[in-house]
Amino acid sequence: MDAGFKVRPGLAVIAEERRYQIEKVVDLESVLARDLETGDIRRLRFNQLVPASALKTEEEIAPAEPDPQQISEADWQRVAYSMVADKYLGPLVSRLSGVNQPVIRSRTGFSASC
């Protein structure tokens, strides 16, 4: 264990090549920690623990919205084409009887909903 490493509930650690979050300090030698993949609680000794990077919040994990100024002209053209196709071709296609809408969507790239 790292000498400058303070063990406390909520701290992310790595032990036995798995990522855990400390739930409770049991005594001077061990903690109860929750495996972040399985949810299982295990008793781990301090000498098994290695500090892990901080757990990320949902906002940090979610991808950022793209900056409209950074979108290429070709991408804008694709968006515009898709919007026109949805607006004008979608209602026409949806009126066709016996047509499988998911097949149309997969082949054309636009939804055929009214």
pTM attached to this predicted model? 0.45
Q: What are phi and psi of 84, to 5 degrees?
A: -65, -45
Residues making up the chain, counted from first to last: 114
- pLDDT at residue number 99: 60
End-to-end CA separation in angstroms for the chain: 62
47 shares its domain with 78:
no
Low-confidence stretches of the chain (pLDDT beneath 70): 1-4, 54-64, 93-101, 104, 109-114
* Structural domain containing residue 32: 12-54
Could you give the 3-state DSSP secondary structure of residue 26? coil
Q: Is 101 within a domain?
A: yes
Into how many domains does the chain fold? Answer: 2
Q: Is 76 within a domain?
A: yes
Q: Compute the distance between CA of residue 7 and CA of residue 5 in angstroms, rounded to an integer.
A: 6
The candidate with the shortest Cα–Cα distance to 50, out of 95, 10, 4, 89, is: 4
- pLDDT at residue number 24: 94
- pLDDT at residue number 114: 46
Q: What is the mean pLDDT of the chain?
A: 79
pLDDT digit string, tens, across residues 5-35 = 788 899 899 998 899 999 999 998 999 999 9
